Amino acid sequence: MQKILSLISILAITATINSGCVSGKKYKDSQAWVNKLQRDSSLAHQSLTDCNTELTASKNLAKDLSAQNTLTQQDLDNLSANSKMTIADQAKRLADLQKIIQGQKDIMNNLKKTVSDALIGFTPEELSIEIKNGNIYVSLQEKLLFKSGSDLVDPKGKEALQKLAAVLNNNPDINVNIEGHTDSIPIKGKFADNWALSVSRATSIVRILTVESGVDPHRVIASGRGEYYPINSNSTDNGRARNRRTEIILSPNLTELFKLLNQ
């Protein structure tokens, strides 16, 4: 391009000279026109160079994007394979969890039957047995265990506890929580309040189960709930009588379940 414009300039000047004597003004105009053509040629050449540079950069970018797209597809394929493995692992883990949970249910159902058989000689007014929240609740009424305001266990109540202890000794993986409960009537005498009475009654039962009947004390917890977890209204004699109870809560050992959950 630059060579062509230079040739045009030479031809233009030659033509001017050959035309004979020309005025200085015409010569200057011709020279200015030639200079403009040279500037335009230079700008056009620079633009062409810039276009070529941009075209090369675009081609390189296209190559890079194509390579990245290939890597991305490979990543997606790998992710898909990993996802399939994860789903398979999760399915197995879920099956293992369900197996453990069902096993625990079977254990607790069998244990409930064993406890019920051991305590078959006692009436529903004296005690009740139910499965709740995955645990077995053996609820012993006050009239079976204690005299009013006392933490000393009556002989009939001790008999029930000893029979229960025999079942617990045959099922060493069961944890035991003894909860004492009272009604809402303020207490007078030996204990400061119903809370103190409920705790003392729970510890009295713990001693019978552990010291006298051989249940491992590491499995046993004693606690008092006082009047704060009633199961009936405290506005009637019958309701208050139902609230004065001791609950022995039998819980399965969930170590294997927790291990699986933490994996």
More confident residue, 10 or 125: 125
Tell me the pLDDT tens digit for each residue of 114-144: 999 999 999 999 999 999 988 999 999 999 9
Per-residue pLDDT at 83: 60
More confident residue, 154 or 101: 154
| H/E run at residue 245 | strand 245-251
Per-residue pLDDT at 159: 97
Residue 76 has pLDDT above 70, yes or no: no
The letter for the amino acid at 183 is: D
Considering the chain, what is the average pLDDT of its residues?
82
The CATH homologous superfamily to which domain 104-261 belongs is OmpA-like domain (3.30.1330.60)
CA-closest candidate to residue 119, choices 250, 227, 230: 250
Query: Could you give the 3-state DSSP secondary structure of residue 249?
Result: strand
Per-residue pLDDT at 66: 62
| Residue range 71-86: mean pLDDT, rounded | 63
Neighbours of 94 (CB within 10 A): 10
Tell me the pLDDT tens digit for each residue of 81-121: 656 657 887 788 788 888 888 888 888 999 999 999 999 99
DSSP notation for 117-145: HHTTTS-TTTEEEEEETTEEEEEEEHHHH
Confidence class of residue 181 from pLDDT cuts 50, 70 and 90? very high
Per-residue pLDDT at 44: 64
Residue 21 has pLDDT above 50, yes or no: no
Residue 58 CA to residue 253 CA, distance in Å, equals 67
Per-residue pLDDT at 68: 60
Q: Helix H segments across the chain?
A: 2-18, 24-118, 142-145, 155-169, 194-207, 237-243, 255-262
Ranges of each domain in the chain: 2-65, 104-261
CB-count exposure of residue 39 (10 Å: 0-12, 13-18, 19+):
exposed
Q: Which of 127-141, 168-182, 188-202, 246-260 has the lowest mean pLDDT?
A: 246-260
Residue 17 has pLDDT above 60, yes or no: no
Residue 259 has pLDDT above 80, yes or no: no
Residue 24 has pLDDT above 80, yes or no: no
The answer to whether the predicted template modeling score (pTM) of the entire model surpasses 0.85 is no
The percent of residues in the chain predicted with pLDDT above 70, rounded, is 66
Residue 2 has pLDDT above 50, yes or no: no
What is the length of the chain?
A: 263
Per-residue pLDDT at 85: 57
